Structure 1
Amino acid sequence: MPIGDRWQLLREGAPLGDIVVDGADFPWLDGRFVPRAGFAEVKPWFDESAAFVDAEDHEAFERAYDRIDGALALASPSGPVAEFLLHIRGDRASWRWSDEPFDEV
């Protein structure tokens, strides 16, 4: 992904925030997150999932992330992606994505 590309976090088609790519470490992208109206409602979901990542509680993270995965979408400059894993901490985002669903482990 080229530096400067703009991605969007969506809920029911409405943008909740923009992410501007400023780095990458395959398979992860990194960027500056700019929240929009409505993000405050889902911000606690990201805070909770981040706390479980920090605690290395993988099962709790998966349960918490299911809410994000079920309610939100991520769109690349080319359009919505099929699957993604997104972390937002303050004004920073890191994510990986796929045009195909991730393999179940």
Structure 2
Amino acid sequence: MEYRLYRGDCLLGVLTSTDRDCTWYNGTFEARSEFEELRSLFEREQALLNEDRIEEWGEVWDGIMALGLRLEDAATQADIHEFLLHIDGSQASWRY
């Protein structure tokens, strides 16, 4: 399964599911150059989550989502506006 990450109409990268763990998809993230300006936000999000600093994590995630991100299911072209996404280098996990 493949999903595309957009900010508005700008393609930021492609998520490819390699396995599924209950409600979470796990896989790879192929970033485009347009993603680089957001990479540090996702690195911060991941660090706070790993440190169990949930309140701060929520604030960072809200800031990320305020950027107008959306996923698109590549098979159906359906837009997904409510989701969680963790990107760690070229690896990703997400749910919606």
How far apart are residue 37 of structure 1 and its match?
2.0
Q: Report the CA distance between 1:82 and its aligned residue.
A: 3.1
Q: How many angstroms apart in 1 are the aligned matches of 2:6 and 2:63?
A: 14
Q: Structure 1 vs Structure 2: percent identity of aligned residues?
A: 31
Count of matched residue pairs: 93
Tell me the secondary structure at the aligned position of residue 83 of structure 1.
coil
Unaligned runs of at least 5 residues, structure 1: 98-105
Q: Provide the C-alpha distance between the structure 2 equivalents of 1:18 and 1:67, rounded to a whole number of angstroms.
A: 21
Match of 1:100 in 2: none
The CA deviation at 1:14 is: 1.0
**Is 1:73 paired with 2:85?**
no
Task: Report which structure shows greater RCO (CA 8 Å, sep ≥6).
Answer: 2
Tell me the distance in 2 between the aligned counterparts of 1:69 and 1:27.
20
User: Which residue of the partner structure matches residue 10 of structure 1?
Assistant: 6
**Corresponding residue SS for 1:62:** helix
Of 52, 55, 64, 1:56 maps to 52
What amino acid is the match of 1:75?
E
Q: Which runs of 5+ in 2 are unaligned?
A: none
2:37 maps to 41
TM value normalised by structure 2: 0.92
Distance 1:9 1:50 in 2: 17
